[in-house]
Amino acid sequence: MSVFSLEGQRALVTGANTGIGQAIALGLAEAGAHVVAAGRSSCEETVERIIAEGGNAKALKMDLADGTHGVNALEKAGDLDILINNAGIIRREDSVDFSEADWDDVIDVNLKAVFKLSQHFAKSLMAREATGRIVNIASLLSYQGGIRVPSYTASKHGVVGLTKIFANEWAGRGINVNAVAPGYIATNNTQALRDDPKRSTEILERIPAGRWGDPADIAGAVTFLCTPAAQYVHGTVLNVDGGWLAR
């Protein structure tokens, strides 16, 4: 079997209804994994696309704003080999006016849920004496401050920290924990930026690759980190940004 194959693996992807999460689910399925596409919104379209392409998948409702519901849903998914913590939300406001409610909402989904799902997944693997993979979706704002997104920036810095501590504690138990930090990707979330000629030009001029990223670019990186080819990769953050951070 190829070291880039995921045949026989079962993977859960959060936020798999659209954009990057959907692309990751499709990429894992293409590599041979059985995919559980999870999200607060329906992931049936993702499942249908995977099945249409000859893959195996099912949808699962998972509300990460409710930590208990997220863990309970993870339990319903059954034994898993791969966990992709992709789901995330963002709220925008000047830091001086940012509300506690917006802070809590973002931290709960983007950071607390990553901790709780990873903790539960790792416990399950250890109880089965099994190996597994966790890939967290970080951000360019895991490195930079951004503007008007204090809770998002804090949460994505935290995701990188969790990735490293999990790797430190679990690598010896056969659990690989890594992260992927997407750059500017062509999704619904960046539509307004891409439709703004001035902002789009400014962004493209900073990207050495000269283009917006495609969700499939993120899917390829995540899939690699889940395969046997990455078995000695622990605690890394793989930047998939067209060279943005190197500029």
- Residues 40, 172: Cα–Cα separation, whole Å: 33
Give the angle subtended at the CA of 164 by the CAs of 221 and 139, to the nearest 5°.
Answer: 50
Q: Which member of 143, 152, 184, 232 is catalytic?
A: 152
The beta-strand segments (E) located in 40-166 are 56-61, 82-85, 132-137
How crowded is residue 147: how many other Cβ atoms within 10 Å of its Cβ? 11
Our CA dihedral for 234, 57, 215, 72, rounded to 10 degrees, sits at -60
Q: What is the residue type of 176?
A: N
143 is catalytic: no
Burial class of residue 138 in the structure, from the number of CB atoms within 10 Å of its CB (0-12 exposed, 13-18 middle, 19+ buried)? buried
Asked if 13 contacts 25 with a C-beta cutoff of 8 angstroms, the reply is yes
State both tokens at 185.
Answer: 């990707």
Q: At what angle do helices 215-226 and 19-30 cross, to 10 degrees?
A: 50
Q: At what angle do helices 150-170 and 113-128 cross, to 10 degrees?
A: 20
- Could you give the residue numbers annotated as active site? 152
